[in-house]
């Protein structure tokens, strides 16, 4: 609405208004409400941003509302924006609903100009501070509002530091900073064609507009695509009275966490820079001090900060990420939010808060995710590999990364797209490097700490990162890095291999093999076998994973089965907590040496030949089933009858044609290949995925499915006689009509009856079908009358609903669809709820209406996807089935689905 309320003072909001005020604005309002030392200010709402993005202009009422809020701010402080005597200065910061660290713009010291800088110098009694603040404004304003390359300002500053013969910009004098201001303004004039604006209100209005526009910057759009944040939310803008950390050694700026975000260890963690401002800490431009260093230099401020951190953590009942400034010994809180953390830290912190009585067991389960557990299952660098340690930095984000060094984010993207693993090496990263960070397997920086841009973004993406490796001398222009290692200078050039250990901060020369992670070892080998060999942090993470996973098992409704085709897979899945097999693909059993027997079945010209070929396959198939059923004794095993087109078991058609042509040209005997080519041509299909496969094979090729059913029934008899308790289930694939399933059911029950009669043992097992065609989903009420269970084959259901051929489209245009927002994520990775999911919901409803006792599951890859599992819980399935190594993730998310659904119900 163009005349609604678009501006709120910090004193008017609270943390529950994130959708309106953005995360930063809502939390600034909350801290103000708690009476914490927050500089006064106001928030321009996300509604104003959305209006701007839609109409390319600010809402008509916005300027008046900003003027009123600004006057209230000026009156409360007794100063005016940009006044020539003791001027009020403000910061202009973005603040989206969901945290997007470093992705949008911030401008500090708004209100300074050629006149007010003199007033700031007089009021502060520090001319150097005033000119340092002015040059910061010009550089930030230039790159953010006037679209001038930040490299131009950086190079000018580096040149000034070198010319002055000092170590950093903090040692430049007031006169030297005054000269830099002149240079900066000339850079803006030359590269933008405009003068740096001298009117304070013009600075403020243009800064607010620039923050709005930064919502659609390339780095912000890339981050939203990766994090699946909606494009239409917009960002709020926070205008806050400036407090200054660059007023001398009794001033500074910092970022702190109430617990270690990398490991989850208790205690306060953070970075602090004396005589610094704003973005210096997170930018990683200078290496930071610790909070212990702050306690040594200013114990009163450190004590107040610790008390404030404890209060915020108690209030939010979670790890808090805090930005603060110290101005001449006074502490100011600039931001707080629930902090990003690594996967291991997430589990550890959840257990700590549970033990401290701050959260319940349900909340502890809700605080961790299947994606985080999946990160803990990835391999780590092998121990004692013997590779040389190049250097050590700060362990900013754990995990193993092995790849080729690149120095340019664009090169990182290019190499990654060609299939190469790359490690991005930078002096420090900035938001414009995001595309290269996404493309890289790991990140290494020479500057920065655990709260630097590189560290925060890497932890959010689950990528290994080592930051603040001070021994590195990175020359990005020459694409090389030098480091003194064990008294020898080592030079790494683009393309050389390094290995990063994000948990220890070690950087190794060359490639190091990776080994199983502690969590995956515990899941496969057991706690007692693994725990004694682990360090303190790994042991704590493993114990917390075990604790939360076991609780998830007690609350989840969905059962979790495995997709497994061999005894080895079945055994591994059972160790990982599988409660049966939801998909045993029998086609995998006909490959290798057995392929020739399948060829005989296909090429048989008489029923006798086909019967002989099937008889040769029968004992092999029976042994396969015995092995799998034995491993899953007492648990259900769903066996899918042969599904793929038969031509997949024959030689390639093009190869055969070449062989026949060459043999004929040479006058050689090609009769065998000619016969095979005739069969291949007969079976050739333009679109085999929609051709003769699944149930159609069973109806067209006599004896094929009967062979499999008989082998399964005989395996069942053998195991029961041996004292086992096998629970096989028979699944007919690609059914599109109830008549198809009824015909197959008649044949299957006939074979089971024959085995029963021959063995003298009652042999009965559930018979169901896969729902993987839209017609099957839409006619589920009819099909259910002939089925004991449905299993949704969401891979094929996605293909047939979208009209996609997965093998073709993912490479052909999925990247463009993700870029254009057609997808937020591949529909083969997470279920398309409004399309494919709608078909699943219809099938569930109609199937159970027709057959109330119908058992329902899913066996596509979506069965192991965290987000999809929540959908399957809501729609009422009985189980999900996933690949063995996704079993723990599915167990966890099935438990979380109960908690999340209950919380959503409570808010309605």
Rounded Cα gap, residues 144 and 138, in angstroms: 10
Q: Compute the mean pLDDT over every residue in the chain, rounded to the nearest whole number.
A: 90
Q: In this predicted model, which residue has the larger pLDDT, 364 or 477?
A: 364
Residue 504 has which token pair? 């220890």
Q: Which phi-psi region, left, alpha or beta, contains residue 419 (left: φ > 0; alpha: ψ -120 to 50)?
A: left
Whether 395 has a pLDDT exceeding 90, the answer reads no
Q: Using N-to-C axis directions, what is the helix angle for 704-721 and 738-759, rounded to 10°?
A: 40
Query: 478-507, pLDDT tens digit by residue?
Result: 899 999 877 788 999 999 999 998 878 899
Dihedral angle sign, alpha carbons of residues 706, 608, 684, 659: positive
Residue 538 has which token pair? 């790994």
- CB of 427 within 8 A of CB of 474? yes
Whether 284 has a pLDDT exceeding 80, the answer reads no
Of the pLDDT bands very low, low, confident and very high (cuts 50, 70, 90), residue 606 is confident
Q: What angle do CA 179, 184, 185 make, to 5 degrees?
A: 100
Of the pLDDT bands very low, low, confident and very high (cuts 50, 70, 90), residue 463 is confident
> Residue 509 pairs with which residues in a beta bridge?
498
pLDDT of residue 278: 66
DSSP of 540-555, one letter per residue?
HHHHHHHHHHHHHHHH
Whether 453 sits among the annotated catalytic residues: the reply is yes
Query: 746-766, pLDDT tens digit by residue?
Result: 999 999 999 999 999 999 999
**Which pTM does this prediction carry?**
0.81
Phi first, then psi, for residue 768 (nearest 5°) are -140, -165
Q: Which of 453, 851, 870, 873 is catalytic?
A: 453
- CB of 841 within 8 A of CB of 871? no
Q: Encode 302-337 in three state secondary structure.
A: HHHHHHHHHHHHHHHCCCEEEEEEEECCEEEEEEEE
The residues, ordered by sequence, that sit 6+ positions from 650 with a Cβ below 8 Å of its Cβ are 599, 602, 676, 679, 680, 683
Q: Using CB atoms within 10 Å of the CB of residue 320, give its burial: 0 to 12 exposed, 13 to 18 middle, 19+ buried.
A: buried
Average pLDDT over residues 195-221: 94
pLDDT of residue 588: 67
Q: Running DSSP on this structure, what letter comes out for residue 688?
A: G
Place of tokens 């897979």: 569
pLDDT of residue 811: 62
> Residue 727 pairs with which residues in a beta bridge?
636
pLDDT of residue 385: 65
How is domain 5-239 classified at the architecture level of CATH? 2-Layer Sandwich (3.30)
Q: In this predicted model, which residue has the larger pLDDT, 389 or 838?
A: 838
Residue 652 has which token pair? 């390639």
Of the pLDDT bands very low, low, confident and very high (cuts 50, 70, 90), residue 117 is very high
Domain ranges of the chain: 5-239, 250-340, 378-515, 548-589+619-644+699-904
Which of 396, 390, 503 lies closest to 449 in space, CA to CA?
A: 396
Which of 41, 40, 42, 47 lies closest to 6 in space, CA to CA?
A: 47
Average pLDDT over residues 73-89: 95
Query: 805-830, pLDDT tens digit by residue?
Result: 776 776 678 778 877 878 888 888 89
285-309 exposure pattern, b = at least 16 Cβ within 10 A, e = fewer: bbbbbbbeebbeebeebbebbeebb
Query: 514-573, pLDDT tens digit by residue?
Result: 888 899 889 989 999 999 999 888 899 999 999 999 999 999 999 999 999 888 889 989
Q: What is the CATH number of domain 250-340?
A: 3.30.470.20
pLDDT of residue 908: 60
Percentage of the chain lying above the pLDDT 90 cut:
64
Helical ranges in 632-723 per DSSP H:
653-666, 671-683, 695-700, 704-721
Rounded Cα gap, residues 527 and 532, in angstroms: 9
Beta strands 7-9 and 41-44 are antiparallel
Whether 859 sits among the annotated catalytic residues: the reply is yes
Q: In this predicted model, which residue has the larger pLDDT, 886 or 897?
A: 897
Q: What is the CATH number of domain 548-589+619-644+699-904?
A: 3.20.20.60
Residue 293 has which token pair? 């260093």
In what side-by-side order are the strands of the sheet with 330-338? 289-290, 266-274, 252-259, 320-327, 330-338
Query: 562-599, pLDDT tens digit by residue?
Result: 999 888 889 989 999 999 999 998 876 776 666 677 76
Cβ neighbours, 10 Å, residue 767: 20
Which of 752, 720, 728 lies closest to 628 in space, CA to CA?
A: 728
Q: Which phi-psi region, left, alpha or beta, contains residue 782 (left: φ > 0; alpha: ψ -120 to 50)?
A: alpha
Please name the fold of domain 378-515. Answer: Glucose Oxidase; domain 1 (3.50.30)
The residues, ordered by sequence, that sit 6+ positions from 774 with a Cβ below 8 Å of its Cβ are 797, 800, 801, 839
Phi first, then psi, for residue 561 (nearest 5°) are -115, 175
Rounded Cα gap, residues 116 and 755, in angstroms: 96
- CB of 155 within 8 A of CB of 183? no
Helices (H), strands (E): how many in the chain?
Answer: 37, 31
Q: Encode 624-651 in three state secondary structure.
A: HHHHHHHHCCCCEEEEECCCCCHHHHCC
- CB of 634 within 8 A of CB of 727? yes
Task: Report the range of poorest mean pLDDT among 163-177, 246-260, 374-388, 412-426.
Answer: 374-388
Report which secondary-structure segment, H or E, holds 881.
strand 879-882
3-class SS of residue 514: strand
- CB of 30 within 8 A of CB of 338? no
Average pLDDT over residues 205-209: 96
Of the pLDDT bands very low, low, confident and very high (cuts 50, 70, 90), residue 885 is confident
- CB of 522 within 8 A of CB of 833? no
Ranked by mean pLDDT, which of 144-153, 283-292, 441-450, 584-593 comes out on top? 144-153
DSSP of 21-85, one letter per residue?
HHHHHHHHHHHHHTT-----EEEE-HHHHHHHHHHSS--TTHHHHHHHHHHHHHHHHT--BT-SS
3-class SS of residue 389: strand
Q: Which of 240, 320, 544, 859 is catalytic?
A: 859
- CB of 457 within 8 A of CB of 101? yes
3-class SS of residue 281: helix
3-class SS of residue 571: helix
């Amino acid at each position: 609405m163009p005349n609604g309320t678009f501006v709120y003072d910090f004193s008017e909001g609270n943390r529950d208004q994130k959708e309106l005020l953005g995360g930063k604005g809502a939390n600034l309002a909350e801290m103000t409400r708690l009476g914490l030392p927050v500089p006064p200010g106001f928030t321009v709402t996300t509604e104003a941003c959305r209006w701007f993005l839609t109409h390319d202009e600010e809402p008509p009422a916005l300027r008046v509302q900003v003027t009123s809020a600004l006057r209230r701010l000026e009156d409360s402080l007794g100063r005016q924006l940009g006044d020539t005597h003791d001027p009020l200065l403000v910061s202009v910061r973005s603040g989206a609903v969901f945290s997007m660290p470093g992705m949008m713009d911030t401008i500090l010291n708004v209100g300074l100009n050629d006149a007010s800088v003199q007033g700031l110098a007089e009021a502060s009694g520090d001319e150097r501070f005033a000119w340092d603040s002015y040059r910061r404004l010009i550089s930030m304003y230039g790159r953010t509002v006037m679209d001038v390359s930040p490299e131009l300002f950086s190079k000018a500053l580096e040149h000034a530091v070198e010319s002055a013969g000092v170590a950093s910009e903090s040692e430049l004098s007031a006169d030297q900073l005054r000269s830099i201001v002149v240079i900066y303004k000339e850079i803006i004039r030359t590269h933008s064609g405009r003068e740096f604006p001298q009117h304070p209100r013009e600075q403020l209005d243009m800064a607010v507009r620039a923050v709005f526009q930064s919502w659609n910057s390339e780095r912000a759009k890339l981050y939203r695509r990766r994090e699946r944040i909606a494009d239409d939310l917009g960002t709020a803008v926070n205008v806050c009275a400036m407090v200054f950390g660059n007023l001398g050694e009794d001033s500074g700026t910092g970022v702190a966490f109430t617990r270690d975000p990398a490991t989850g260890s208790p205690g306060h963690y953070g970075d602090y820079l004396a005589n610094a401002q704003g973005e210096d800490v997170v930018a990683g431009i200078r290496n930071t001090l610790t909070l212990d260093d702050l306690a040594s230099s200013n114990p009163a401020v450190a004590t107040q900060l610790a008390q404030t951190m404890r209060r915020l953590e108690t209030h939010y009942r979670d790890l808090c990420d805090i930005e603060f400034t110290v101005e001449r010994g006074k502490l100011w809180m600039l931001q707080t939010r629930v902090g990003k953390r690594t996967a291991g830290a997430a589990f550890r912190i959840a257990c700590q808060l549970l033990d401290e009585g701050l959260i319940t067991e349900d909340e502890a389960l809700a605080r961790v995710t299947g994606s985080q557990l999946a990160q803990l299952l990835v391999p780590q660098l092998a121990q004692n590999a013997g590779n040389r340690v190049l250097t050590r930095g700060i362990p900013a984000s754990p995990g193993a990364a092995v790849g080729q060094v690149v120095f340019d984010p664009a090169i990182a993207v290019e190499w990654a797209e060609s299939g190469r693993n790359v490690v991005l090496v930078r002096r420090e990263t900035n938001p414009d490097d995001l595309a290269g960070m996404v493309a890289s397997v790991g990140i290494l920086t020479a500057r920065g700490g655990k709260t630097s841009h590189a560290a925060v973004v890497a932890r959010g993406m689950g990528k290994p990162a080592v930051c603040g490796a001070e021994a590195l001398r990175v020359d990005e222009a020459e694409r090389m890095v030098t480091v003194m290692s064990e008294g020898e200078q080592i030079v790494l050039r683009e393309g050389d291999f390094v290995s990063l250990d994000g948990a220890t901060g070690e950087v190794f020369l060359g490639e190091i093999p990776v080994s199983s992670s502690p969590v995956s070892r515990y899941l496969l080998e057991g706690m007692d076998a693994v725990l004694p060999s682990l360090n303190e942090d790994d042991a704590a993470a493993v114990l917390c994973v075990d604790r939360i996973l076991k609780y998830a098992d007690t609350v989840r409704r969905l059962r979790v089965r495995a997709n497994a085709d061999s005894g080895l897979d079945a055994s591994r899945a059972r160790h990982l907590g599988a409660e049966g097999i939801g998909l045993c693909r029998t086609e995998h059993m006909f490959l290798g040496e057995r392929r020739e027997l399948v060829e005989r079945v296909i090429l048989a010209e008489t029923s006798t030949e086909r019967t002989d070929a099937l008889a040769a396959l029968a004992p092999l198939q029976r042994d396969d089933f015995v092995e799998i059923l034995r491993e899953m004794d007492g648990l259900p095993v769903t066996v899918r009858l042969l599904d793929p087109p038969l031509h997949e078991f024959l030689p390639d058609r093009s190869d055969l044609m070449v062989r026949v042509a060459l043999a004929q040209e040479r006058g050689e005997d090609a009769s065998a290949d000619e016969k095979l080519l005739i069969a291949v041509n007969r079976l050739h299909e333009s679109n085999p995925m929609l051709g003769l496969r699944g149930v159609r094979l069973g109806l067209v090729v006599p004896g094929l499915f009967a062979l499999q059913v008989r082998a399964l029934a005989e395996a069942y008899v053998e195991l029961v006689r041996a004292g086992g308790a096998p629970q096989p289930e028979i699944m007919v694939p690609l059914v599109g009509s109830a008549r198809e399933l009824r015909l197959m059911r008649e044949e299957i029950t006939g074979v089971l009856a024959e085995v029963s009669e021959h063995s003298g043992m009652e042999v009965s097992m559930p018979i169901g079908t896969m729902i993987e065609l839209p017609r099957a989903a839409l006619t589920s009420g009819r099909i259910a009358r002939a089925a004991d269970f449905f299993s949704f084959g969401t891979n094929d259901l996605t293909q047939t609903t979208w009209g996609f051929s997965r093998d073709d489209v993912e490479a052909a245009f999925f990247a463009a669809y993700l870029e254009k927002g057609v997808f937020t994520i591949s529909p083969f990775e997470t279920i398309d709820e409004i399309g494919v999911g709608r078909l699943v919901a219809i099938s569930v409803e109609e199937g159970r209406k027709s057959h109330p006792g119908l058992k329902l599951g899913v066996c596509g890859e979506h069965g192991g996807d965290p987000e999809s599992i929540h959908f399957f819980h809501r729609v009422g399935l009985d189980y999900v089935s996933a690949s063995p190594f996704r079993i723990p993730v599915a167990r966890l998310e099935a438990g979380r689905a109960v908690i999340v659904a209950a919380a959503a119900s409570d808010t309605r």
